[in-house]
C-alpha cells in the first residue's frame, strides 16, 4: 500500500455494513430516484463507479435495474459489494469487479449504461478530470450521468481557499500516521462536529440518530471517510459544467444540488444527443443550463 494511503475506504465500508439494515436501503433508493426524477430503474442498466459498500448497487437492484455492474479499486469495498449481492441471492444480472475508473482496458469491456453513478469517487482517484471524462464516456445515448464531487471554495483572488490546504494536511497526516489519525484526529473531528451541531441549537443525540436520512449513511463512516479519503481534489460547479460540456457537448445538466461549504456538489447530466446551450460549446457560458 502507498505510504500516503494507509486509509482504506473498503475497511471503513466493512465497518459500515455492521449497521446495515433494510431501512438504509430504502433511504438510498429514495436518494437515487429523487435526484433522477424517475419512479424506479426498471429496464435500465446501472454502473456503480467506486461502489464502496455496494449500498447503491443494492438500491439499484431493488429499484429493478435490468443490469448492474459495480466496481471499486479497493478490494475490501469489492468484498462489501459481494456481501450485498449475496444478500440479494446473487442475481446473475449483477456483476462486480475490482479495478480503477482510470483503467481504460477495464472500462472498454464494460459497455455503456443508461445510468452511470459516480458519487463521491472521482475526486479520490488522483486524476479527477480524467476520471470524470472516463466515466462520462460510459453513458449511453439518452442515458444519465449522476456524479458528486467535492466543492471548491474560492478564496481571495479566485484561488482555492486556505481550508483546502488545511484539510489536505489533515488527510496526509491521517494517512502517514494512522495511529494519530485514529486516536487524535478522529476524536477531535467528531468532537468539533458535535460542537457545531450544538451551536446550531440541535440536539446531538437526535442529530446522530437521524444522520441515516442522509443517503442511508452513518456519521462515523462519513467522518472517517472525510478525514482519511485521499487523494483529495475539488472543483467549482462552473468548472465541472464547463469540462463536461466541453468534452461531451450533448450532455445537458438536468439537476444539481450545490453546497457553499466543503461538502459535495451533486450533478445530473443527460446525454440527449443534442446540445441545448450553444454558448457552452464555445466555452463562453458562465452558468449551467437546465432543460
Cell digits of residue 232? 483529495
Which helix (H) or strand (E) is 226 found in, with range? helix 219-228
Strands (E), the chain: 45-49, 67-72, 94-98, 113-119, 139-150, 251-257, 264-271
Cell digits of residue 118? 459516480
With contact defined as beta carbons under 8 Å apart, do 57 and 68 qualify?
yes
Min dist CB 240 to ligand SAM, Å, is 17
Min dist CB 107 to ligand SAM, Å, is 10
Compute the distance between CA of residue 35 and CA of residue 56 in angstroms, rounded to an integer. Answer: 13
**123 versus 152: smaller Cβ distance to ligand SAM:** 123
**106 versus 190: smaller Cβ distance to ligand SAM:** 106
Min dist CB 13 to ligand SAM, Å, is 6
Min dist CB 118 to ligand SAM, Å, is 7
Compute the distance between CA of residue 168 and CA of residue 171 in angstroms, rounded to an integer. Answer: 5
- Residue whose grid cell is 446473475: 92
**55 versus 253: smaller Cβ distance to ligand SAM:** 55
Min dist CB 43 to ligand SAM, Å, is 23
Listed residue (155, 122, 125) closest to 264, CA to CA: 122
Nearest residue to ligand SAM, using CB? Answer: 52
* Long-range CB contacts (within 8 A, 24+) of 217-223: 217/16, 217/24, 218/16, 218/19, 219/193, 220/15, 220/190, 221/12, 221/13, 221/15, 221/16, 223/186, 223/189, 223/190, 223/193
**100 versus 242: smaller Cβ distance to ligand SAM:** 100
Cell digits of residue 289? 443550463
Which residues here bind ligand SAM, judged by CB under 6 A? 9-10, 50-52, 56, 72-74, 77, 100-102, 119-121, 124-125, 225, 229
Min dist CB 229 to ligand SAM, Å, is 6
Chain centroid to CA 100: how far? 14
Compute the distance between CA of residue 114 and CA of residue 64 in angstroms, rounded to an integer. Answer: 13
**57 versus 252: smaller Cβ distance to ligand SAM:** 57
**124 versus 171: smaller Cβ distance to ligand SAM:** 124
**58 versus 280: smaller Cβ distance to ligand SAM:** 58
Min dist CB 130 to ligand SAM, Å, is 10
Amino acid at each position: 500500500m502507498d505510504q500516503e494511503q494507509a486509509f482504506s475506504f473498503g475497511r471503513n465500508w466493512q465497518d459500515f455494513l455492521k449497521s446495515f439494515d433494510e431501512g438504509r436501503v430504502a433511504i438510498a433508493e429514495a436518494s437515487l430516484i429523487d435526484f433522477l426524477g424517475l419512479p424506479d430503474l426498471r429496464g435500465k442498466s446501472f454502473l456503480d463507479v467506486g461502489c464502496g459498500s455496494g449500498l447503491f448497487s443494492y438500491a439499484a437492484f431493488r429499484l429493478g435495474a435490468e443490469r448492474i455492474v459495480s466496481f471499486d479499486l479497493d478490494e475490501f469495498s469489492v468484498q462489501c459489494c459481494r456481501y450485498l449481492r449475496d444478500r440479494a441471492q446473487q442475481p446473475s444480472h449483477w456483476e462486480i469487479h475490482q479495478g480503477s475508473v482510470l483503467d481504460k482496458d477495464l472500462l472498454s469491456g464494460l459497455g455503456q449504461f443508461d445510468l452511470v453513478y459516480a458519487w463521491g469517487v472521482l475526486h479520490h482517484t488522483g486524476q479527477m478530470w480524467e476520471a470524470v471524462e472516463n466515466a462520462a464516456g460510459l453513458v449511453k445515448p439518452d442515458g444519465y450521468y449522476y456524479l458528486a464531487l467535492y466543492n471548491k471554495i474560492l478564496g481571495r483572488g479566485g484561488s482555492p481557499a486556505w481550508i483546502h490546504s488545511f484539510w489536505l494536511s489533515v488527510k496526509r497526516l491521517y494517512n502517514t500516521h494512522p495511529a494519530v489519525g485514529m486516536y487524535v484526529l478522529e476524536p477531535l473531528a467528531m468532537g468539533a462536529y458535535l460542537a457545531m451541531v450544538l451551536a446550531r441549537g440541535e440536539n446531538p443525540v437526535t442529530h446522530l440518530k437521524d444522520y441515516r436520512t442522509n443517503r442511508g449513511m452513518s456519521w462515523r463512516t462519513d467522518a472517517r471517510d472525510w478525514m482519511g479519503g485521499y487523494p483529495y481534489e475539488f472543483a467549482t460547479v462552473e468548472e465541472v459544467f464547463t469540462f463536461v460540456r466541453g468534452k461531451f457537448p450533448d450532455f445537458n445538466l438536468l439537476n444539481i444540488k450545490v453546497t457553499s461549504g466543503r461538502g459535495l456538489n451533486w450533478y445530473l447530466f443527460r446525454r440527449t444527443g443534442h446540445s441545448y446551450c450553444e454558448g457552452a460549446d464555445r466555452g463562453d457560458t458562465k452558468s449551467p443550463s437546465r432543460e
